[in-house]
């Protein structure tokens, strides 16, 4: 995703505790986790721009995790058929040279069609989205499960809101494009 902005980068995955805190909203959770990830990577970097992100999928007030296996993915998709899922993506840009931190979140709504059991099973056999929140990959076959999507930045759905990120990078003096 970051390659679309045509700037050089390296990727590193920090190991952090991603557990929600008591009373924390989904927006607060993903923003905190994005910042925590950026801070952890920034500890090892001088004069760098560090980007952190995190995402949750919501069905009403419930956070939909990554299903992990076929049966749980089937249960998730059966539960969300005909409903709207909100994906909330947290984003943080940390400038290690100046110490500035920008953190925000971007919501994106996905409306699922009323799926038959056969459609769910067929999708899961082909896509196997067991490591995706909500058992869904919009950038692949999962788009066929959807009736419509709403939001200001479609890349937020994939996990990195590039429109908002480009704004943050420009504030740090990085020309995009």
DSSP symbol at 93: E
DSSP symbol at 40: H
Positive or negative CA dihedral for 122, 130, 104, 25? positive
Q: Which of 54, 62, 117, 153 is the catalytic position? A: 54
Whether residue 177 has a cis bond before it, omega within 30° of 0: yes
Verify whether residue 62 is a known catalytic residue. Answer: no
With CA atoms as reference, report the closest residue to 35 among 116, 106, 92. 92
Give the C-alpha separation, 44 to 22, whole Å: 30
Q: Active-site residues: which are they?
A: 54
């Amino acid at each position: 995703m970051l390659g679309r902005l045509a700037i050089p980068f390296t990727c590193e995955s920090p190991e952090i505790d991603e557990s929600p805190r008591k009373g924390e909203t989904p927006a607060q959770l993903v923003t905190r986790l994005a910042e925590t990830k950026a801070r952890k990577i920034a500890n090892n970097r001088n004069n760098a721009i560090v980007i952190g992100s995190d995402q949750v999928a919501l069905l009403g007030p419930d956070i939909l995790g990554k299903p992990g296996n076929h049966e749980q993915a089937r249960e998730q998709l059966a539960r969300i058929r005909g409903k709207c899922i909100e994906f909330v993506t947290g984003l943080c840009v940390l400038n290690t040279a100046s110490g500035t931190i920008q953190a925000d979140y971007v919501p994106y709504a996905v409306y699922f069609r009323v799926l038959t059991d056969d459609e769910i099973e067929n999708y899961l056999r082909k896509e196997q989205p067991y490591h995706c929140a909500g058992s869904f990959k919009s950038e692949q076959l999962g788009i066929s499960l959807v009736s419509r999507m709403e939001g200001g930045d479609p890349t937020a759905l994939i996990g990195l809101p590039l429109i908002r990120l480009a704004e943050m990078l420009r504030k740090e003096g990085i020309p995009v494009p």
